Amino acid sequence: MNSVCINNQWILGDGEIFESINPLTNDVVWNKNSASQAQVEQAVAAAKSAQTAWALTSLDDRIAVMERFSELLKKNAEELALSISLETGKPDWEAATEVTAMLNKITISIRAQQQRAGTWRKDNLQLQHRPHGVMAVFGPYNFPAHLPNGHIIPALLAGNAVVFKPSEQTPLVAEKTVALWVESGLPAGVLNLVQGGKEVGSALSESDIDGLLFTGSSTVGKMLHRNMADRPEVLLALEMGGNNALIVDQGVALAAAVKIIVQSAYLSAGQRCTCSRRLIVVGKSHGEMLTKALANAIDKVIVAGHRAQPEPFMGPVINQPTAQALLQFESWLQTQGALIIRSMAPELNGSNLLKPGLIDVTAVDDITDDEWFGPLLQLQKVDSFEEALQQANNTRFGLAAGLISDNHQHQQIFCKLIKAGVISINQPTAGASSEMPFGGVGASGNHRPSAFYAADYCAWPQAQSHGADTHLHSQPLVRGIRQ
């Protein structure tokens, strides 16, 4: 199978060869040509040609295609999960849950489309929702199947055509997913795939699209926002992660709190955009006890390859440059006065299997407000809940935040004052329900939440006024005009 899919035809890319590397073994998983700029333009043109007919297809018929795709997902779940593990290093159990999330997204998106982008009529007034046209979808590597799927499904349901540019780290997963769409009977041109890196992304963002749906880093999201500044007619939906805080209040059960913290900070090797990056603990003595219990729990976390036994909790980070950047940041924090409680340093030098890191930054005066995408948790001890909340909000981001507390008043204050789009009380932060909106404020997004609210940005509302029936009759008199 070739690397570019246009009009349901797989063709050889005209761009440079690039590789997908297994982050566990450093073996080559995928090696093919990227798309050229001309092929990106061909994919957009194919989508434009196919979109009108797709928009005129009834919603029931579009849903039927989704349901066929769902059946194919079920039949090919093991193969797709293996591809996810090979390209991301996720344990088998976690890769399988990602495929399950894709399946669930179909049913949820159908309901969201009907509830949030359906039709409404009263007397001579009617509301309906129209597709934008051609939507570009940029996928991330951390959930290479589920997160692009969260854009593609609602976009297709609304009647849009899609050009999909996956992460260059995970082209195999994208290839297998699009192949299932083709097999499902999706009309030619409705979904097109262009593989490649920054050049392909730039060509797609600058092409004649009607919307761009992006999940990824704040740096790239800001660049896209700047590039789109003179094109307000192009819808832009950005989800850009966060420097997420998890507050631990005084008086909580340590064992239960530790379980929540471990899941919040280290699931997916810390490579979930809702993972906790900052742990803010109220009370110095309480903080000491919690730190000791957390360090003991970290020592029991199994970090290994996806098929290792016993089953691992987490696998490697995505590549060696990421691993090195994380370790360098950990070392820099230490030079600034931070205390390393548990280092991320791998058992084997050069390995991407970083261990869960815990570092006390209470004594560090100035820490850069960045999203470090990996298994590093920065611990800060404060004297009061009010100070903890202030520190939690001391970030330019606003995606996720959590509170572990038995204090009902503190829970209420947290919900009202925390600046984050996805919050949790006595639950892990690393995860979010597709039944709810997903997005953040500040540098975490541009106020276009996804998940259940994806239907909102995949269609635009059209207000209609109709006569009493479909035939034109005489109109009522208008004052000031002679008859």
| DSSP-based three-state secondary structure for 418 | coil
Question: What is the reported pTM?
Answer: 0.94
Q: Say which CATH class 4-240+445-465 falls into.
A: alpha beta
User: Has 273 been annotated as catalytic?
Assistant: yes
| Count of other CB atoms within 10 angstroms of residue 313 | 20
Q: Residue ranges per domain, the chain?
A: 4-240+445-465, 244-425
User: Has 98 been annotated as catalytic?
Assistant: no
Contact by Cβ (8 Å): 161, 458: no
Residue 432 has a pLDDT of 87
In tens, the pLDDT along 20-60 reads 999 999 999 999 999 999 999 999 999 999 999 999 999 99
Catalytic entry in 168, 175, 273, 330: 273
Question: What sign does the CA torsion over 450, 453, 455, 461 have?
Answer: negative
Residues forming a β-bridge with 136: 163, 212
Residue 1 has a pLDDT of 73
Residue 479 has a pLDDT of 73
Residue 442 has a pLDDT of 95
Mean of pLDDT over the chain: 95
Q: What percent of the chain has pLDDT over 70?
A: 97
Q: Say which CATH class 244-425 falls into.
A: alpha beta
Contact by Cβ (8 Å): 261, 248: yes
Residue 468 has a pLDDT of 64
Q: Which of 225, 283, 271, 220 is nearest to 244 (CA)?
A: 271
Distance CA 154, CA 107 (A): 11
In tens, the pLDDT along 208-233 reads 999 999 999 999 999 999 999 999 99
Q: Which regions of the chain are under pLDDT 70? A: 468-478, 482-483
| Count of other CB atoms within 10 angstroms of residue 70 | 19
Distance CA 63, CA 80 (A): 22
